[in-house]
């Protein structure tokens, strides 16, 4: 298993992360940045991208290190090393945490989450509405994209995962 430690450059700031599949991780970053329902939508890095970048062409990824067969502990140590190395980073959390951190701060964390939800409920809905209004054409175009599934059917790209779970797909795959 190969692990990549990467740096995402966003204008004059950075985000440090690690992954086994860099292409998939970039896709997940894009999805989290613009999908208001995503749990990570309000992370500092995505707020910064939405505020200061016109699109993803202004965001670049650089591989800092590549490791083969390393433990999760070492991976997080290396991630933390680079977070400490680059001063201007957008990471909200440390890669290495005190094992008792959540236990010691559980009540405070839960209270903060609860307060955030109640304080930002309207702004989250408003941002979603504004995004849909500003990107209607892009949304319509994305919904029209069709792909040929491995079973041979023409399927909307947004629904391919759901299609693969259907009885029709499974039956067609058995007949192949």
pLDDT reported for residue 126: 77
Q: Which two tokens stand for residue 78?
A: 């290396």
Tens digits of residue pLDDT in 135-144: 899 888 888 8
> Model pTM?
0.55
Of 70-74, 83-87, 123-127, the poorest mean pLDDT is in 123-127
The region of weakest confidence among 4-18, 33-47, 98-112, 137-151 is 98-112
The DSSP element (H or E) to which 76 belongs, if any, is helix 72-85
Q: Would you identify the CATH topology of the domain 2-97?
A: GIY-YIG endonuclease (3.40.1440)
Domain with CATH 3.40.1440.10 in the chain: 2-97
11 touches 53 (CB < 8 A): yes
Please tell me the predicted confidence (pLDDT) of residue 102.
60
Minimal CA–CA distance to 46: which of 115, 99, 78, 92? 92
Q: Rounded CA gap, 124 and 10, in Å?
A: 23
Residues 61, 9: Cα–Cα separation, whole Å: 6
Q: Is residue 69 scored above 80 in pLDDT? A: no
SS3 148: strand
- Tell me the mean pLDDT in the region 18-28: 94
Could you tell me the CA-to-CA distances from 156 to 58, 135, 160 in Å, in that order? 29, 19, 6
What's the mean pLDDT in 89-99?
Answer: 80
């Amino acid at each position: 298993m190969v692990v990549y430690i990467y740096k995402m450059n966003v204008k004059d700031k950075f985000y440090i992360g690690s992954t086994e599949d860099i292409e998939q991780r970039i896709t997940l970053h894009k999805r989290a940045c613009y999908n208001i329902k995503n749990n990570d939508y309000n992370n500092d890095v995505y707020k910064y991208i939405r505020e200061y970048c016109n699109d993803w062409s202004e965001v670049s990824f650089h591989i800092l290190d590549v490791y083969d067969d390393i433990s999760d502990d070492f991976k997080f140590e290396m991630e933390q090393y680079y977070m400490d190395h680059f001063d201007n980073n957008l990471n909200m959390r440390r890669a290495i945490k005190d094992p008792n951190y959540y236990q010691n701060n559980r009540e405070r964390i839960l209270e903060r989450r609860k307060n955030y939800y109640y304080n930002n409920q309207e702004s989250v809905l408003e941002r979603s509405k504004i995004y849909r209004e500003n990107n209607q054409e892009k949304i319509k175009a994305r919904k029209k994209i069709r792909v040929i599934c491995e079973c041979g059917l023409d399927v909307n790209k947004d629904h391919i995962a759901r299609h693969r779970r259907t009885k029709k797909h499974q039956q067609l795959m058995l007949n192949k």
